[in-house]
A = this chain, B = another copy of it.
Amino acid sequence: MIIQLKQEVSDSQKEKLIARINEIGYKVTEVKTQMGDYLIGIGKTEFDIRKVGHLEGIQDIHIVSDDYKLVSKKWKVKPTCIDLGGGVTIKDGDMAIMAGPCSIESEEQILDVIGHLKENGIRMMRGGVFKPRSSPYAFRGLGMEGLRLWYQHAKAAGIKIVTEVMQVSQIEEMHDYVDVFQVGARNTQNFNLLDELGKIDKAVLIKRGISGTIEELLQSAEYVFSGGNEKLILCERGIRTYERASRNTLDLNAVPILKSKSHLPVVVDPSHGIGIRDFVAQMALSGVMSGADGIIYEVHRDPDKAYSDGQQTLNFAQSALLAEQIRKTFAMRKSFALL
């Protein structure tokens, strides 16, 4: 159960509310985000709204029985819009495109990709400066130095930065240089990291876990939201199955299901989703048709020389064509009625 409090709620009103809910046998967690103040009540019996509805300080009450409450569509019917400033948004009814290399490799590469994005009207650049690698002996990224270089050029070009944060201690140092913090598929259930990302005012893109369920993705988002940060984006990137012909199994079923359960925007990552360069475009366009609010993919001037993930990375010509096709496909989807 979620009680959305009035903006002008007084402390004594809140205390009375909490006491009353406790009396009914519900445990209360107070959640303050940058946009509102909520009381989350958890209990085992059915909740009778009439028992608190008359108290002061309440804006609205919602019965939500899912394990994820604040990210549920059941109380917030209006979709969440993520506004990165400068006219760049990720939201329902629109098509965000995020593209860039797997790893940030050098200043030259940064400029190269930014040039490609600008030419194609893409306003968000993805790339890794801290790389999670299953082998300790592999390239682990350029780190803060790479991020600062990237920031300098991205800012000048009006491009927003989407990049992975791997641990709590990085949040502070990365904060000023990042527009969207990405939580990787291996960190989807790193609850301390999620807690800390709940305390900042930057957008957070959460990738579905390598074998995470749709419900677990929503619960991970609930962590960040209940920590205070409402600026969340969900990302389907393929799951682990027994199939070996592709790197992961892109689960596009997740897109309409997530959209029906949550008010948060959903993006699709076809590069990791299939892991084979020649088929990334088909999967991206399939993702558009499944109802995604955005596509995030990997691009590099010379994929075969990329430091990582080259086999699933598009070259500039492929990327330019794909961006155009994504937009056309999205325009057609928008024109379609749903019954």
Complex Cα gap A286–B256 (Å): 11
Which residue of B40, B241, B251 contacts A137 across the interface (Cβ within 8 Å)? B40
- The residue of chain B having its C-beta at the shortest distance from the C-beta of A27 within the complex is B137
- Give every chain B residue within 8 A of A166 (Cβ-Cβ): 191-192
Given contact pairs A253-B250, A339-B318, A339-B321, A242 touches B245 in the complex (Cβ within 8 A) = no
CB proximity to B under 8 Å, residues A191-223: 191-193, 195, 209-211, 213-216, 219-220, 222-223
- A278 in the interface (beta carbon within 8 A): yes
Which residue of B216, B220, B227, B282 contacts A290 across the interface (Cβ within 8 Å)? B282
- A60 in the interface (beta carbon within 8 A): no
Complex Cα gap A220–B244 (Å): 17
CB proximity to B under 8 Å, residues A63-77: 67-68
- A122 in the interface (beta carbon within 8 A): no
- Give every chain B residue within 8 A of A257 (Cβ-Cβ): 245-246, 276, 279
Complex Cα gap A190–B187 (Å): 7
With both chains docked as a complex, state the minimum distance between the C-beta of A265 and any C-beta of chain B, in angstroms: 16
- Give every chain B residue within 8 A of A256 (Cβ-Cβ): 274, 276, 278-279, 282-283
Contacts A/B (CB < 8 Å), 25 sampled: A29-B137, A40-B137, A136-B191, A136-B195, A136-B223, A136-B226, A136-B227, A167-B193, A169-B192, A186-B189, A186-B191, A209-B210, A211-B240, A213-B244, A213-B245, A245-B253, A245-B254, A245-B257, A250-B251, A252-B283, A256-B282, A286-B289, A317-B339, A321-B337, A329-B332
With both chains docked as a complex, state the minimum distance between the C-beta of A169 and any C-beta of chain B, in angstroms: 6
- Give every chain B residue within 8 A of A100 (Cβ-Cβ): none
Extra 14 A-B pairs, beta carbons < 8 Å, given A282-B289, A329-B332: A68-B135, A132-B189, A134-B216, A136-B222, A210-B211, A211-B211, A213-B243, A215-B245, A241-B251, A246-B254, A253-B273, A285-B289, A286-B286, A286-B289
Are the C-beta atoms of B246 and A239 separated by less than 8 Å? no
- Give every chain B residue within 8 A of A193 (Cβ-Cβ): 167
The 6 nearest A-B residue pairs measured at CB: A211-B211, A256-B279, A286-B286, A285-B289, A186-B189, A167-B192
- The residue of chain B having its C-beta at the shortest distance from the C-beta of A336 within the complex is B325
- A281 in the interface (beta carbon within 8 A): yes
Complex Cα gap A252–B209 (Å): 19
Complex Cα gap A133–B67 (Å): 12
- A249 in the interface (beta carbon within 8 A): yes
- The residue of chain B having its C-beta at the shortest distance from the C-beta of A225 within the complex is B136
- A168 in the interface (beta carbon within 8 A): yes
- A7 in the interface (beta carbon within 8 A): no
- The residue of chain B having its C-beta at the shortest distance from the C-beta of A314 within the complex is B339
- The residue of chain B having its C-beta at the shortest distance from the C-beta of A321 within the complex is B339
- A52 in the interface (beta carbon within 8 A): no
- A310 in the interface (beta carbon within 8 A): no
- A255 in the interface (beta carbon within 8 A): yes
